[in-house]
Amino acid sequence: MRNRIIVPIFALAAVVTFSSAALAEAQAQEPATANQSGGGSNQTAVIPSVPPPAGWKSCPRCQNEKDRADANIKYKVKDHPFNPRDLSGVWGFNGVGATFRNPPPSLTPWGKQQQEATIGEKNAAGQPLHTKDTSGEGGGAQINCDPKGWPRLHTYNYGFEFVMLPDRVLQFFELTHTWRTIWTDGRKLPDPPPQLNWNGWNVGRWEGNTFIVESNGHDDRSWLSDTQPDGGWTHSDEMRVVERWRRLNYGTLEAQITVIDPKTYTTPWVTPAATISLVPGAELWEDFCVPSDYHTFNNDVFLPVAGEVKK
């Protein structure tokens, strides 16, 4: 949890076991809240970046805003020629967190029941402990580090990389250090899928300069996104996801996701299009979700600060 714990400043101050050196390391590596278009407004040059080893490249979350501005100049991103059917590159810094923040379509009775079941416990002050989110984002969850799944990885990922191959497109994610394979060899989605996958079964095709990705067979233990102040938007194993990717220019991708899940939502959930910035001269590093790290942090830091007993 060295890189990924998000704790209110007042909570950190209350935990005297956090040394100043550990806190400094956490602040240096914790990415500030960012939009995918160019980094967060608070990610300025005063935030230290994490320099790569000699001969290696920086990772997206390791950069501050000055690093990114310098890289755009160095690699001549503005007005650089590009192939709109080549999505190759490292993209984004933190994920498109606003993807599912707009109100969803109306829930079916079953969908409402599932969403209500994602609301977890509260502490004595009535503050949510996020005990039902097992993805690594639920601070008070006893079980953590379940795969985020797709499309939740779209909302939070520390950057991703597209690799274009003749018969498939690979999308690698730094967060959880995983990938999905999008087959472009003409195969159809399995009907029915032989098993449920956390990232689904994915096929892609080009329509003009738009890359269309369709998927099904998603494991229904994953969420689409968390909700505020607690809980998450769920989906069923019948969900189908349709994505539309366009390279607007050399340095910008546009992504739009539609969720079709009539068991959970009465109409398709069409999310707003989002732009995602190229991160030139960068490469993905490693960031696993480690259950033992979460257990130690939750017991020694999160739960005591939240006024709960260790589990």
Amino acid code (one letter) for 93: F
Give SS3 for 132: coil
pLDDT in tens, the chain (311 residues): 344 433 333 333 333 233 333 333 333 333 333 334 334 434 444 577 899 999 999 999 999 999 999 999 999 999 999 999 999 999 999 999 999 999 999 999 999 999 999 999 999 999 999 999 999 998 888 878 999 999 999 999 999 999 999 999 999 999 999 999 999 999 999 999 999 999 999 999 999 999 999 999 999 999 999 999 999 999 999 999 999 999 999 999 999 999 999 999 999 999 999 999 999 999 999 999 988 887 787 778 777 877 776 66
The structural domains of the chain, with segments of one domain joined by +, span: 91-277
Bridge partners, 181 (sequence order): 170
Residue spans of beta strands (DSSP E) within 15-167: 89-91, 160-165
pTM, two decimals, is 0.83
153-156: long-range contacts at Cβ-Cβ below 8 A with a sequence spacing of 24 or more? 153/95, 153/178, 153/199, 154/95, 154/96, 154/99, 154/255, 154/257, 155/95, 155/96, 155/97, 155/99, 155/100, 155/225, 156/94, 156/95, 156/97
Give SS3 for 113: helix
